[in-house]
Amino acid sequence: MGQLFGSLQKPKYTLPPELWHHCWSFLAFQDLLNVSSTCRSFRFICKDLLFKHITTTIPYKHTVRHIFQPRNEDAARIRRAHRLLGRLHALQSDSDAWEVLGLVETWSIKTYGSPAPLEETEIMQYDKTSFPFVQPSTSIFLVLPSCRNLRVLNISDIYMGEERWSALTKIPQLECLNMERCDLSFTGNSMKLKVVSIIYEAHRDPPLVPPPTSRLISSLFNIQHLERLTLLDLTFSDSFLLEIGRLGQFEKLKHLSVVVPEAHINTLFAFLDRTPSLTSLTISNFSTMAKPSKPVLQSVIPNLMAYDGFPTLVPVLLPGRPVNAVCLRMNHRTDPQASLGNPFGVYDNNVICKALDDCSASSRAVHDLMLSPYHPTPDSMQDIVRIHPNLRHLRLDILRTPNINMGVDVEEPMSLIMDMLADRMEVRDSDNFSRHPLFLISGFLNWIANGHLPLPEKLETLHLQYYQKSVTFCGDIAKQRLLVPKISAAYPALREIEMGTTRWWRKGDRWSYEVFRYEV
C-alpha cells in the first residue's frame, strides 16, 4: 500500500492546493489517476478525490472457482478477482491503509458471477497463499469500521448475515444505507441512520428468507434520526410499514418512497399518521392503488409539499395541504394480478382533466407538474393551461402512440411498432408541423412554435422525454435552432427546454445548448 500510494506527507506547492483540488475535481477517475502519478504534489492533492468514493465488485462462487480452475472466456473476470483479492489483503495488512481508509466517504459493494457465496469449507481446498483470507465480502465488511469518515454505504446482492451486520453497526459516521436485492436475516445494535433505502424488486420470485423481524426494524429505522426512507421491497414493504409504525412518531422523516399492495393501503395511512414532518411522498409504479377505507384526517401529513403517484390518491392527499409539486402517474394498475404493461390504464382527456382539477384543491398553487405517460393533444394541453396557469416547471413523458385508447398486444406490442415508425419519422426533413405527429417530440415542438399547442404563460422550464425510454435522443440541432427562438418569443418567461439528451437554456436574449453524455 505504501509503495502504491507513496508518502502522504504534505509537500510544497507553487499554487494554493485548494485551486489544484478544484481543477482536478472535474476529471474522470482514470484521468485523475494519471495526474496523481505525475509528481508527489499532485499525488497528495488527488488522494482526497481518488479515495472519496470507492466501488468494490465481489466475485462469487462461479468466478472464484475459475481463479483456480480457469477457462479461456473468464480471463477478464479472473484478472478483476485477483486485483480485488490483492487490494483487500493490502487494506488488512498494510499500515498505510489507515490513512487511506480515513479518506473514504462513500463505499459501494456489489457482486458479479453466480449469486452463491463461496463458503469457508470450499475455500479450504484452494491454496491459501493464493487466497489469503476467507470470503471476500466478509473481508470487506471487516474493513468498513476502520473508515472513520464513511457516511454512505451502498450494498447490492449481498446476504447480510450476523458478521456483516455487526460490522455495519460499528461504522462510526454512517448516515446513509442503500441496500438493493439483499437478504436481510439478522441485525445487531441500533444504528443512527438518516437515510435508509431497501429495494428488492423480485416480485415474481420472492426471496426465500423470513419477513423482517422486530429487531431488524428497530436497528435500521431510528425514530430520532431517520429523515429519508425508501421501501421498494415488493415482498416485505407491507411488513416493514406495519412494524415501523409501531416504533412511534418519526418526527424528522421528510421524504418517503414506498410500494403499496392494494390490501395494505390502510397500513400506509396508519404510518403516515406518525410522520408529521413529511414533505414528499412517492408511490411506486409497482403499487396497486385503491383509496383508504377510512377518512383521512386533515392532521395527517399537514406539511406535504410534493406528491408523486397515482391520481387515485390526489383527492385524499392534496385538499388543504400545501402541495405545489405533483407527478401524476397515469399508468396505475387496477387489478392486483395485472402485469406492469397489461393493462396500461386509461389515457383519455377526461381522466387527465379530472386529475388536474383535483390537484387544484391544494392550498398552494401547483408550480411543478409532471405527467407520465402523457399523450399530448390540443385539448389536454389546454386543460393544463386553464387549470394550472401558474405553472413554472412542466415535465411530460410522451407516450409514443397515436391512439390513446390502443390496447396492448402481448405477442407484438403496438408500442414497439410505433417506436419503429417514430424513429423513421424523426429523421424526416420537414418544417411543416402537420407532418410531425404529436406523439413525437419534434412534432410537439413544431406545434408549440406554430401556435397550435399552448403553454402556461409563466412557464420557466419544459422537460420532454419518451415514456419508458432510458435514453431519449433528440439531436436535430439545426431544426431546434429554428424552433426554440419562436417558442421563446411566445413565452418570454421560458428559460430552459430539455429534450432527452439535448438541453437548451437562455441567458439574457441568447439561447445555448448542450448534449448530455450517456452510457450505452
- Among 83, 93, 85, 95, residue whose Cα is nearest residue 7: 95
Instruction: Report the C-alpha gap between 346 and 396 in whole angstroms.
Output: 17
pLDDT (tens digit, 9 = 90+) per residue, 320-362? 999 999 999 887 544 444 443 343 444 567 778 888 999 999 9
- Among 403, 488, 481, 504, residue whose Cα is nearest residue 448: 488
**Which helix or strand (DSSP H or E) is residue 138 part of?**
helix 136-143
Residue ranges in the chain whose pLDDT is less than 50? 1-9, 61-63, 66-67, 113-135, 203, 333-346, 403-435, 520
Whether 381 contacts 454, CB under 8 Å: yes
Go through 349-369 and write b for each residue having 16 or more CB atoms within 10 A of its CB, e for each that does not.
eebbbebbebbeebeeebbbb
Taken in order 155, 156, 160, 163, the sign of the CA dihedral is: negative
Output the nine-digit C-alpha cell for 317: 392527499
**Residues present in the chain in total:** 520
- Among 123, 178, 155, 180, residue whose Cα is nearest residue 58: 155
Per-residue confidence (pLDDT) for residue 229, from 0 to 100: 95
- E strand spans, 19-122: 53-59, 106-112
Per-residue confidence (pLDDT) for residue 439, from 0 to 100: 67
Per-residue confidence (pLDDT) for residue 29, from 0 to 100: 65
Instruction: Report the C-alpha gap between 244 and 231 in whole angstroms.
Output: 11
In this structure, are strands 368-374 and 325-329 parallel, antiparallel, or unpaired?
parallel
* 196 Cβ neighbours under 8 A, 6+ residues apart: 176, 177, 220, 221, 226, 228, 229, 230
Per-residue confidence (pLDDT) for residue 289, from 0 to 100: 67
Taken in order 202, 203, 204, 207, the sign of the CA dihedral is: positive
Rg (CA), the chain: 27
Per-residue confidence (pLDDT) for residue 251, from 0 to 100: 93
Whether 277 contacts 252, CB under 8 Å: yes
Output the nine-digit C-alpha cell for 423: 424513429
Q: How far is CA 466 from CA 94, 375, 419, in A?
A: 51, 10, 10
Cross-strand pairs, 309:
328
Residue 428, classified by CB atoms within 10 Å of its CB into exposed (0-12), middle (13-18) or buried (19+), is: exposed
Per-residue confidence (pLDDT) for residue 490, from 0 to 100: 94
Whether 218 contacts 226, CB under 8 Å: no
Domain spans, the chain: 1-50, 304-520
Angle at 464 between CA 460 and CA 466, to 5 degrees: 165
Instruction: Report the C-alpha gap between 381 and 443 in whole angstroms.
Output: 14
Per-residue confidence (pLDDT) for residue 23, from 0 to 100: 74
Q: CATH number for the 304-520 domain, one of 3.30.420, 3.40.50, 3.80.10, 3.30.70?
A: 3.80.10
Topology agreement, domain 1-50 and domain 304-520: no
Per-residue confidence (pLDDT) for residue 404, from 0 to 100: 39
SS3 356: helix
Whether 258 contacts 240, CB under 8 Å: no
Q: How far is CA 133 from CA 93, 115, 137, 142, 293, in A?
A: 11, 20, 11, 12, 56
Q: At the topology level of CATH, where does 1-50 sit?
A: Monooxygenase (1.20.1280)
Per-residue confidence (pLDDT) for residue 109, from 0 to 100: 87
Output the nine-digit C-alpha cell for 233: 421491497
- Whole-model pTM? 0.78
Q: What is the DSSP letter of 34?
A: H
Output the nine-digit C-alpha cell for 125: 481446498
Instruction: Report the C-alpha gap between 332 and 347 in whole angstroms.
Output: 11
Instruction: Report the C-alpha gap between 406 and 391 in whole angstroms.
Output: 30
